[in-house]
Chains A and B, each alone.
Chain A
Amino acid sequence: MGTVHARSLEPLPANGPDFGALGEEAEFVEVEPEAKQEILENKDVVVQHVHFDGLGRTKDDIIICEIGDVFKAKNLIEVMRKSHEAREKLLRLGIFRQVDVLIDTCQGDDALPNGLDVTFEVTELRRLTGSYNTMVGNNEGSMVLGLKLPNLLGRAEKVTFQFSYGTKETSYGLSFFKPRPGNFERNFSVNLYKVTGQFPWSSLRETDRGVSAEYSFPIWKTSHTVKWEGVWRELGCLSRSASFAVRKESGHSLKSSLSHAMVIDSRNSSILPRRGALLKVNQELAGYTGGDVSFVKEDFELQLNKQLLFDSVFSASLWGGMLVPIGDKPSSIADRFYLGGPTSVRGFGMHSVGPQSEGDYLGGEAYWAGGLHLYTPLPFRPGQGGFGELFRTHFFLNAGNLCDLNYGEGPKAHIRKLAECIRWSYGAGIVLRLGNIARLELNYCVPMGVQKGDNPEHQHRHLPLLRARTWKCGAPFIPTLLSLHRKY
């Protein structure tokens, strides 16, 4: 909350040695202690002025839109609440480092007796901020340099540049973001990027150079994003021993696609939510705006969370997707879905479920996956109220299936195919929450329904049903500017 100062006319002491000497002021001051309380109660007030201190390059119109509601407040409590909301909105714009709110009675000639002045004292962000990080993971170390230009032209436009220089690959991305003045949820952004990714489960290396433009807008409680993306993809083999099926996919292709995504998220947190639901539906149509890849892709994610007794949370989730190539060309390995790993079906190697050729996983054109989870606090609640709150015990049941479809066969055949040979697993473990970004899991997992060609973890131990897991990291939020990860 910002600082709220409310000044009132101070009463002078009723008796004291100096009372007589203040003759002139004495008659001016007639208020009594009770009057102070009267002002602080729900007395009707009118906000007459809203002042801004500290604006530099920010333009006026964008500010006016955010604080418009403050003028509508009718009593002091509402003024405080609306000012607080306006402060949140101003901070959301991402152009101020700090926003303080001062509420004061109105002074001046046109001041009404119940008039209030609200002053926002803001500190703008610097024109250019930089960051430097090093990242280590996946057998690769990299240096990430970031540059941010917030509030470029005064209306909360933001330009971000990220450059990652790694031992294996180099990536960079440039992004321009512009919200609509007065309606931050409607925003527009353009991205330019080059990312490289290595996928050892498919012996594939992929380099994407692309440009995308997207527009987000809310409708009622949902958030929609419409995007056009043009990507020049270069696929290559990661090693000489890559299978021929993967080798055949090497080369260049151009994908130009239009996509629409809808998200409804009422969860209280994205990592270990306690309540709420999430629904994401995504459609993509490629090929009609250029490029040489043509398909229709559909995928969805549903998650429901419910809090139970004793601080435990029950969570159910379901994902699914389908890729339909248009025309004669078969689908490309870069567009297909993958299944397996700590974020989908635990107990199976990362993306190592489904059609494969000589040990390289090729992905599939249709999949579904689901999970039932029960999160409870640690037994005996060590560190309760502090560090222990970051941990949860976790019981889970995961299932899923991935396959290629022959689209000539009809929907009944497809459903039957997806319903046979289901891979599933169950187990328990501990989850550690890392800020609001990621979660770390340590699980003991039993994979079942393993099909020929799948890769359940640690097969070389020759204990086909018992698998002890090492650290695996489920990270639902990966900064998408610079990571190339398979979008399910």
Chain B
Amino acid sequence: MWGSIPQCQDHALSRRQTLNHRATQAPQLLILLVSNSFIPGICVLISLPRDFDPSLYLWVSQAFLQMCNLPIKVVCRANAEYMSPSGKVPFIHVGNQVVSELGPIVQFVKAKGHSLSDGLDEVQKAEMKAYMELVNNMLLTAELYLQWCDETTVGEITHARYGSPYPWPLNHILAYQKQWEVKRKMKAIGWGNKTLDQVLEDVDQCCQALSQRLGTQPYFFNKQPTELDALVFGHLYTILTTQLTNDELSEKVKNYSNLLAFCRRIEQHYFEDRGKGSSSIRSS
């Protein structure tokens, strides 16, 4: 189980636990890689907010870019959400271009000649898009719901975390503003009246679909990872390793052992091995 994690996991989990428990601490600066052979002379920078858990967005895009073999530098800034041209994170800063959200990042990277889904045919590409939509609609919304619409979580964790970089009274004002915004969005997509149990049910169904698609393969489309793998990994890993007031969400995911193994595999291959091999530093 995820609770009894092997040695190499302890490091990542303990760091995140520290982040979770000290909810009032200021966002940390995580600098990972510095080399810039992506486009000569240009450094790719991913800026992330401290929302939910910095690593949700961190892991998705970082996984994607590392799967593309692209060196990146990661910086966390409290105002990343406001810096982003579309208001969403993550975003990358390359040269004097700023690209936000996973979709456009994938397009941008593709335009520069790196793509993970070149080996797929049209049918598979369509399938991949469909699954990515599923993950975005289900898992992302469920995470948002749990952060902002579940009263216990909001009161104990989210408000304090979201407002931590700001002084009083701004911390409360911004947290309430964000909560109101998210609740409005939830109503607009029809999740306004869902209960926690219904949300968890939906997550379960989503995980079931993913698990079935994955089957026994190492990645969703057999041997090579694609954008879908990065996306699923990011979401699932975050769910598994973030501590909330209740563990039901992570329990749902843990029910599917192939998804667990999938996450472990990607983490080991792309984050730990890289971490040991190249010149990256992880600050804790």
Contact = CB atoms under 8 A, between A and B. Distances in A.
Interface string A232-271: 1011110010011001101111100000000000000000
B93 A254 contact: no
B166 A292 contact: yes
Contact of B174 (A235, A247, A252, A290): A252
Contacts of B77: 248
B96 interface: yes
A292 B167 contact: yes
Contacts of B83: 247-248, 250-251
A183 to B, nearest CB: 35
B180 interface: no
B120 interface: no
B173 interface: yes
Contacts of B173: 232
Q: Which of A251, A291, A292 has the most CB of B within 10 A?
A: A251
A251 B78 contact: yes
B167 A250 contact: no
Contacts of B167: 254, 290-292
Interface in B74-113: 77-79, 81-83, 85, 93, 96, 98
A165 B215 CA distance: 59
A232 B96 contact: no
A240 B170 contact: no
Nearest to A251: B79
A236 B166 contact: no
A60 interface: no
A161 B86 CA distance: 35
Contact of B170 (A237, A247, A252): A252
B81 to A, nearest CB: 8
A44 interface: no
A389 interface: no
B79 A252 contact: yes
Contacts of B174: 252
Chain A at the B interface: mostly helix, strand, loop or mixed?
strand
Nearest to B80: A251
A358 interface: yes
Contacts of A234: 82
Contacts of A253: 170
A250 B168 contact: no
Interface residues of B, number: 17
Given A250-B79, A251-B79, A251-B83, A244 B98 contact: yes
A351 to B, nearest CB: 22
Interface string B153-191: 000000000000011111001100000000000000000
A76 B79 CA distance: 71
Given A247-B98, A290-B167, A292-B167, A240 B85 contact: yes
A253 B174 CA distance: 11
B96 A250 contact: no
Contacts of B93: 244
Interface in B118-157: none
Interface in A399-430: none
Nearest to B171: A254
Contact of B82 (A240, A252, A254, A358): A252
Contacts of A290: 167-168
Interface in A258-312: 290-292
Nearest to B173: A232
Interface string B30-48: 0000000000000000000
A248 B93 CA distance: 11
Contacts of A240: 85, 98
Interface string B20-62: 0000000000000000000000000000000000000000000
A236 B174 CA distance: 16
A236 B169 CA distance: 21
B45 to A, nearest CB: 9
Contacts of A244: 93, 96, 98
Contacts of B85: 237, 240
Interface of A: 232, 234-237, 240, 243-244, 247-248, 250-254, 290-292, 358
Given A240-B85, A251-B83, A252-B174, 9 more contacts: A232-B170, A232-B173, A243-B96, A244-B98, A247-B83, A251-B81, A252-B82, A254-B170, A291-B167
Interface of B: 77-79, 81-83, 85, 93, 96, 98, 166-170, 173-174
Q: Give the 9 A-B residue pairs with the shortest CB-CB distance, closest first.
A: A251-B79, A251-B82, A250-B82, A254-B170, A292-B167, A250-B83, A247-B83, A254-B167, A240-B85
27 contacts: A232-B173, A235-B82, A237-B85, A240-B85, A243-B96, A244-B96, A247-B83, A248-B77, A248-B79, A250-B79, A250-B82, A251-B78, A251-B81, A251-B82, A251-B83, A252-B79, A252-B82, A252-B166, A253-B170, A254-B166, A254-B167, A290-B168, A291-B167, A292-B166, A292-B167, A292-B170, A358-B96
